[in-house]
Amino acid sequence: MNILKKHWWKFLALALVSYAILGGLLLEVPRLAILNETIRNLYFHVTMWFGMIILLLVSVIYSILYLSKGKNEYDFRAVEFANIGILFGVLGIITGMLWATYTWGEPWSGDAKQNTSAIALLIYLAYLVLRGSIEDEQQRARISAIYNIFAFAALIPLLFILPRLTDSMHPGNGGNPGFNYYDLDDKLRLVFYPAVVGWTLLGVWLVSLRVRLKEIALKLINDN
């Protein structure tokens, strides 16, 4: 995990998010009815969800690693990646509600994807509650690692399959035109993909700080 102590990727995160902010607010975007300038939320709201999926994927990988290798460091990397992933998800829900207020007419319209993403977040919050409720370290690590695998297995159908089976106002779901309708426009992609990488790296930076603090705390406990 020495890469977490190197600096270059933090500057990369800084540069990419700066590009997302400046390019995302100033570069040309398609002029679509109802969406208007809010289409720029693609670089901020949608990237939160992409970042969340990536962080939670890394979290579940660490959980699987813990179950196979049994090293504690895998366990607290799993929980910190989940923590920041959940933070991104909560920010995604809140920004989505603000966006929906002005494009769909109300913050919570019971849209299929809104509901399933809220359920997914509750499942992950239960992961944190579960961890908090088990005193024994090994038990906590093992049970929560297994729960994390189930949580991720539920996350994928909740976000990517169920909303497509019914009607959702999110692009690419239900009767709505696919994501490509506007998202895969070349000019949007030029900012969108760097923005996803930038926000995700920023999340990894937060994760790395929390992991390092935890390691320091553990060393202090072990030394005394």
Partner 1 sequence: MKKLLIIACMLFSIELMAQDGKYKVTDADYDNDKVEMADTMRSNGKIYVVVGVIFILFMGITFYLYSIDKKVSALEKEIENPQEQ
Site residues (vs partner 1, CB under 8 A): 5, 10, 14, 17-18, 21-22, 25-26, 205-206, 209, 212-213, 215-216, 219-220, 223
In the complex, least distance from residue 195 CB atom to partner 1, rounded to whole angstroms: 13
In the complex, least distance from residue 3 CB atom to partner 1, rounded to whole angstroms: 14
For partner 1, the closer of residues 6 and 69 by Cβ is 6
For partner 1, the closer of residues 14 and 65 by Cβ is 14
> Tokens at residue 98, please?
């603000």
For partner 1, the closer of residues 184 and 216 by Cβ is 216
In the complex, least distance from residue 78 CB atom to partner 1, rounded to whole angstroms: 20
For partner 1, the closer of residues 160 and 205 by Cβ is 205
For partner 1, the closer of residues 11 and 150 by Cβ is 11
In the complex, least distance from residue 116 CB atom to partner 1, rounded to whole angstroms: 31
> Tokens at residue 114, please?
């809104």
For partner 1, the closer of residues 183 and 215 by Cβ is 215
In the complex, least distance from residue 146 CB atom to partner 1, rounded to whole angstroms: 31
The sign of the torsion formed by the CA atoms of 14, 15, 20, 21 equals positive
In the complex, least distance from residue 212 CB atom to partner 1, rounded to whole angstroms: 5
Closest to 76 in 3D by CA, of 3, 151, 1 = 1
Helix (H, G, I), strand (E, B) or coil at 206: helix
